[in-house]
Amino acid sequence: MNAIRSNDACWCGSGRKFKRCHGAPEARVRKGSVSPPRGVPESIARPDYVRTGTLVRRPEPIVKSPDTIERMRRAGRAAAEVLETVGTKVAPGVTTDELDAIGHEKYIELGGYPSPLSYRGYPKSLCTSVNEVICHGIPDDRPLANGDIVNVDVTIFLDGVHGDTNATFLVGDVDATSRRLVRVTEECLGAGIAAVRPGVPLNAIGRAIETHAHAHRFGVVRTFVGHGIGEQFHTEPSVPHYFEPRATLILEPGMVFTIEPMITMGSPREQVWDDGWTAVTSDGARTAQFEHTVLVTESGVDVLTRV
């Protein structure tokens, strides 16, 4: 089934058209002002793209060595700690830049570098994506408002490898439909993870996610996908969150990648702001995301980004 369209009746039973109900529930998020760059002590090792100022992709095995897996476990746990620290500070009135400052200090305390900072020119240490922002929202001076939802995305570079995780948080009293969107999105991540085991094709993940989202009449973003991760932030394979017939790679123990579904109340079509980063739903309807970095094991799957 496709995502609900603007002129369809809203699923919530209000009797209104979707666009008059949950399609456009409020004022859209507007661009705020971004604070100056934050520094990282020289003692903390930087990824290549920071040291050299350019991103050079190089071949990296999809199946990681035992040593790399050990390092990725540490990086994954550290990413989860940063996310937990920032998540406890989410509240009405707190700006996303204040969240960035808290996250930035935590990365450093853990001895890691904030992977987003200077990645392809990205200016901050977290992504903070509010309401209709799908992903890659840049922390700024906008205070969170009661009723918002905000995704915080953390990636740490520690011990020469990256760990990548995100979660969507409720700000104060959030309406029931948004709460349902957030809950179903977390369930979609769970369904994707539950599909992971050796011998199954990669597209089993997207199939499971899409089935669950569509059962709730929510949309699945197609433009942004999960990714291999390791010594590089984004590497092979791509991990679609929808059923992709061509994604036939057979999962094997030692593979590490992210699963990070972005689920929408309305259309999954997106537009990117002229800051070159902030991706929003074209219809202005809310969207949520959850992300984990996972390892394929002999018996199934390990989630690396847990505290």
Site for ligand MF3 in 238-297 (CB under 6 A): 258, 260, 291
Stretch that binds ligand MF3, among 9-17, 33-41, 114-122, 183-191 (CB under 6 A): 114-122
Is 81 or 291 the residue whose CB approaches ligand MF3 more closely?
291
Q: Is 122 in the site for ligand MF3 (CB under 6 A)?
A: yes
The three state secondary structure string of the chain is CCCCCCCCECCCCCCCEHHHCCCCCCCCCCCCCCCCCCCCCCCCCCCHHHHHCCCCCCCCCCECCHHHHHHHHHHHHHHHHHHHHHHCCCCCCCEHHHHHHHHHHHHHHCCCEECCCCHHHCCCCCEEEECCEEECCCCCCCECCCCCEEEEEEEEEECCEEEEEEEEEECCCCCHHHHHHHHHHHHHHHHHHHCCCCCCECHHHHHHHHHHHHHCCCEECCCCCEEECCCCCCEEEEECCCCCCCCCCECCCCEEEEECCEEECCCCCEEECCCCCCEEECCCCCEEECEEEEEECCCCEEECCCC
Which one of Co ion, ligand MF3, none is in contact with 116 (Cβ closer than 5 to 8 A by kind)?
A: ligand MF3
Is 19 or 142 the residue whose CB approaches ligand MF3 more closely?
142
Which of 153, 159, 187, 283 touches Co ion by CB under 5 A?
Answer: 153
Q: Min. distance of Cβ 27 from Co ion in angstroms?
A: 27
Site for ligand MF3 in 151-190 (CB under 6 A): 153, 155, 164
Q: Is 140 in the site for ligand MF3 (CB under 6 A)?
A: no
Instruction: Please give the size of the binding site for ligand MF3, defined by CB under 6 A.
Output: 12
Instruction: Please give the size of the binding site for Co ion, defined by CB under 5 A.
Output: 5
Which of 81, 132, 148, 164 touches Co ion by CB under 5 A?
Answer: 164
Paired tokens of 25: 């529930």
Which one of ligand MF3, Co ion, none is in contact with 128 (Cβ closer than 5 to 8 A by kind)?
A: none
Count of CB atoms situated within 10 Å of the CB of 159:
19
Q: Is 231 in the site for Co ion (CB under 5 A)?
A: no
Which of 12, 24, 50, 119 touches ligand MF3 by CB under 6 A?
Answer: 119
Residue ranges in contact with ligand MF3 by CB under 6 A = 116, 119-120, 122, 127, 136, 153, 155, 164, 258, 260, 291
Residue ranges in contact with Co ion by CB under 5 A = 153, 164, 166, 258, 291
